[in-house]
Amino acid sequence: MYTLDDFQNGLVLLVDKPLEWTSFQVVNKIHWLIRKQYDIKKIKVGHTGTLDPLATGLLLICTGKKTKQIQELMGADKTYTGTICLGATTASYDLETEVIPHTNPSSLTEQQLKIASKQFLGHIQQKPPIFSAIKQKGKRLYEHARAGEQVNIPSREVIVYEFEITKINLPEVAFRIRCGKGTYIRSIANDFGEVLGVGGYLNSLCRTAIGNHNLVDSMSIDTFERNLKASS
């Protein structure tokens, strides 16, 4: 259970982000619930790393004085599980945009898939997706994309510690990835398909850990709301 002092002194809440919610919507909901519960006008609330709307999983929400640790927590390693669909591509590298068939992947072998995955280990150069929240020329990249504007996206260095193929059921390939700050799993899915010569996009994604914080210890927004109401 919670007290207002808890939130003001600072908490790190482990929240399981629902599908199709933005990280910003989760923060707004938590913020509103706290303000409503204690009838206060101001309380600092922020998250430590965005998850795409089509992704689920662990979101760390900091309140009060703990918001000072957001930058530190954003730098923590992150672990994801999900599936890549091979044989097609999308402009957004996930299911946000239209699926465009590429090349039949049915002849690919387990060995080929595992060899390809090794190319993404260590320090790698990666281009963020055009449908991302990175700012360029004063606008988010996805705003340029939706306006049909061409922009040059520079590649940047990211680090991937682990890329494990956990299940193969072509055209789908299940994976587990542990990586550093700023890594786009959508870009890995796209580039993985490119390396294999068949195309690929991210079909599903779940963040299972941020540093030492794990999804199994998280709560739903509904659970947080119930616990908050029970605190009165």
Calculate the dihedral angle through the C-alpha atoms of 215, 220, 225, 230, rounding to the nearest 10 degrees: -70
Whole-number Å distance between alpha carbons of 5 and 123: 42
Q: Which residues are catalytic?
A: 52
What is the DSSP track for 105-149?
Answer: -TT--HHHHHHHHHTTSEEEEEPPPSSSS-EETTEEHHHHHHTT-
Strand partners, 63: 45
Structure tokens at 227: 């616990």
55 closest CA partner among 99, 88, 21, 104: 21
Whole-number Å distance between alpha carbons of 186 and 161: 16
Whole-number Å distance between alpha carbons of 178 and 17: 19
Give the number of other CB atoms < 10 A from CB of residue 43: 16
